[in-house]
Amino acid sequence: MFVYVLRSSIANAEYVGMSANPDQRLIEHNNGEVRSTARLRPWIIYQEEHENRLVARVREKYLKSAAGRRFRKCLRTISSAG
């Protein structure tokens, strides 16, 4: 199971989700098949693989928390510097 963070290419917005197949899920997001991201058409910036759905769900919740938002901010800084 994977946890991923999408960053919109047209807006200052992010989306955190999880999927067993992140490549297919990214295609669905970019094709407008996911209501919550259809208008933003995000790009993937980060993904992690976890041993099972429960562990992935805990990590997804963390990434949506205040501490997780700080972590995502660090990711943006690193990705823009590289």
- Contact 6/43 with Cβ under 8 angstroms? yes
* Ordered domains of the chain (ranges, CATH): 2-81 (3.40.1440)
**pLDDT per 10-residue tile (average), the chain, 82 residues:** 93 94 95 94 89 98 97 85 64
Q: Kindly state the helix (H) or strand (E) to which residue 63 belongs, with its residue range.
A: helix 53-64
Task: Kindly list the distances between the CA atom of residue 43 and the CA atoms of 26, 74, 81, in Å, as whole numbers in the listed order.
Answer: 8, 17, 17
Single-letter code of the amino acid located at 13:
A
The tokens describing 76, both together, are: 């943006």
